[in-house]
Structure 1
């Protein structure tokens, strides 16, 4: 278990007292590292005994405190006033959520057609000539509401094709694509199976995508070393290891918050969207294209005016559900990696 150094000791209070600044600087760590740096999915991830150290526990405790504070505030007049204000500010986005999704996904596929040689995300390369043209056709299908389901089915096909080429573990980074596909299919057909809203389905897949990505920050922090070397100021004086732990905890907590109470998930969506948008200014058009889909989904979540009464158990059970989710994603990541790539004997018993 690593003890805090002097620099790290200064960083943790800074994280607690300057959360907006830390979120802004963490935006660079939230650029999808596989799009810009060398990576090896089959390589052995960092051991859990290294990840689950005192620094990690301190950061998780801080994150849980923020989450519970948000839940407590939501049940107060201040929380209701914030919800009412969000309803007014985001009314146009809420009215046009489907249109925004169609326009953004259309932009995404036209951009992939223009770049060429890409299946859904920048690191999924292909030399199959018809894939860019298929993606252009999927963009065209978004012009009419009746043909939206064809785009959704096309996304499912491309996701399956990429999985066959790159493996299930690699595509586990991107379940949000399946959520967007489901959203387009259900909205195009105007159905709600089991009375579940399409926006809720895509919200859950976005949360799963980001929680999985946060595990990768802990398992392979060395992938981000070139970015940190190029921009050392992003660590705010902390060691790269501690910075990546903090970036992962922030991302996991905000992703988990997307599954929680209305105000908490809407504020989380706003913060995440701001992080992704700010990363675009650092990493350019590839980041803008790659993250456009999840940004528009987050805007839709931020504008969602569905209300639910905040109960005491929402506050009390938040730590338990958070811990269960964290344990489940760590287990899925490490056991899944061991099953697909071997090395199960290296997984420590915690």
Structure 2
């Protein structure tokens, strides 16, 4: 069935869209909503042993233009933060956060408790929906994690159990597959450090969790460029996600959006808080499209993004980091 033509795109005789700059800039942050929220390995057939696409196939004219737009959007946020406008925006975000930054640990423990209880109830899953298992120790480990999250003093026990589950997943699925899920190692470090009231080489536990979340999302975006074919069945089943853009162009745009927003989580306070808001909108909107699998599977990422958005520490804390 031919793809419908949308206003704002030029079409060649091969049906490949060439973006009008004005339309692409206006819709840049909207294009990745569905695919960023839905993890393709949970809904489509994939082959991690397949060869990724070469750079020659990825670095095309559309990719270059998307990169320029991404850089402009990113550094615009950085510049605004240093002006007189940055402080009022930060105060406005603080009003919406309602002091949740002071309760980040409770938010994370509650969200992760929901996540691991849900996994235990479902059964046969290690850490995410496609990581199937028949091991009898997985359910008790998941319940132990949830129980350990009931008290701050017992979160190190939960941390050890998370590492055990991750180790089982590496054994069964390999290191390359688990590169998608570095967030769980960051979560383990966060739980251990908060329980012991320690820092790691002077870095706060929440920042370690933020870095690992960014790494997870950046890796997922790279997969959209290296293995776009994994997502094509998902786009065929949910054609409204792509907004009428062909699958190849959509995956390039979605990957660029996701990578830029994930990279922004590593940056300065205002930039990362704004990025967290956009990512939250993506993941929450995808839950309506993909159902309870997406809700449970991404609950850890969602609570981490909430704490990043609510984190109102003074910007002097980490302006040197970038």
Scaled by the length of structure 2, the TM-score of the pair is 0.91
Instruction: Look up the match of 2:91.
Output: 84
Instruction: Look up the match of 1:138.
Output: 145
Map residues 101-180 of structure 1 onto 2, 5 A cutoff.
101-180=108-187
Matched, 1:255 2:269: no
Q: CA deviation at 1:96?
A: 1.5
Instruction: Look up the match of 1:66.
Output: 73
Matched, 1:36 2:43: yes
Alignment partners' CA distance in 2, 1:125 and 1:209: 20
Map residues 229-240 of structure 1 onto 2, 5 A cutoff.
229-240=236-247
Map residues 1-350 of structure 1 onto 2, 5 A cutoff.
5-6=11-12, 8-10=17-19, 13-23=22-32, 26-308=33-315
The verdict on how the C-alpha distance between 1:311 and 1:8 changes in structure 2, with shifts beyond 3 A counting, is farther
The verdict on how the C-alpha distance between 1:58 and 1:97 changes in structure 2, with shifts beyond 3 A counting, is same
Q: CA deviation at 1:77?
A: 1.5
Q: Supply the RMSD in Å over aligned alpha carbons.
A: 2.1
Contact 2:36 2:258 in 1 (8 A): no
Contact 1:266 1:301 in 2 (8 A): yes
Alignment partners' CA distance in 1, 2:152 and 2:40: 35
Deviations 1:223-250 (A, max 9, x none): 1111211222322232210100000000
> Structure 1 unaligned runs (5+)?
315-320, 322-350
Alignment partners' CA distance in 1, 2:223 and 2:319: 33
> Structure 2 unaligned runs (5+)?
1-9
Contact 1:106 1:142 in 2 (8 A): yes
Contact 1:156 1:178 in 2 (8 A): yes
Contact 1:75 1:310 in 2 (8 A): no
Alignment partners' CA distance in 1, 2:228 and 2:36: 10
Q: CA deviation at 1:260?
A: 1.1
Q: CA deviation at 1:29?
A: 4.6
Contact 1:30 1:247 in 2 (8 A): no
SS of 1:85's partner is helix
Q: CA deviation at 1:206?
A: 0.7
Contact 1:261 1:310 in 2 (8 A): no
Alignment partners' CA distance in 1, 2:247 and 2:129: 25
SS of 1:193's partner is coil
SS of 1:9's partner is strand
Instruction: Look up the match of 1:344.
Output: none
Q: CA deviation at 1:62?
A: 0.3
Contact 1:11 1:236 in 2 (8 A): no
Contact 1:11 1:237 in 2 (8 A): no
Bigger helix fraction: 1
Contact 1:29 1:244 in 2 (8 A): no
Alignment partners' CA distance in 1, 2:291 and 2:241: 17
Contact 1:106 1:139 in 2 (8 A): yes
SS of 2:131's partner is strand
Q: What is the aligned length?
A: 310
SS of 1:113's partner is helix
Deviations 1:183-237 (A, max 9, x none): 1111111112332110110111111111111110011111111121122232223
